[in-house]
Amino acid sequence: MKNIITLYPALSATMSTSETTTVDRGGPGWEAVRDLPPSAKLVAKVLEYDGGSTQSQLAEETLLPARTVRYALTRLEEVGVVDSRFSFTDARKRVYTLTI
């Protein structure tokens, strides 16, 4: 199994707080994610790279427990950077997408 930093080399650079570039798109941006837990930042970066994913796909990709992914998604939804919709293939699941 590969290390998540190996899969997403920009993750460590993007998550650093030393320098940030902000693009104003009329809503919350990466600055809204800055104060969230590392798990939420990781989930946000995976959504940025992969697009829409279910909770189980995110747990598999990030190697985080499902409970941690659920908490991260809740926090990301609270700050308005993640949207969710029902999956077309399985209505029991939700597909999460990044809105920034």
Higher-confidence position of 100 and 26: 100
Summarised one tens digit per residue, pLDDT across range 13-42 is 555 444 444 444 556 788 989 999 999 999
pLDDT score at 28: 75
pLDDT at 61: 96
Domain residue extents for the chain: 4-16+30-98
pTM of the model: 0.72
- 89: number of Cβ within 10 Å: 8
Fold of 4-16+30-98: Arc Repressor Mutant, subunit A (1.10.10)
Alpha-carbon torsion (48, 8, 69, 41), positive or negative:
negative
What would the pLDDT profile of 69-86 be if each residue is shown by its tens digit? 999 999 999 999 999 999
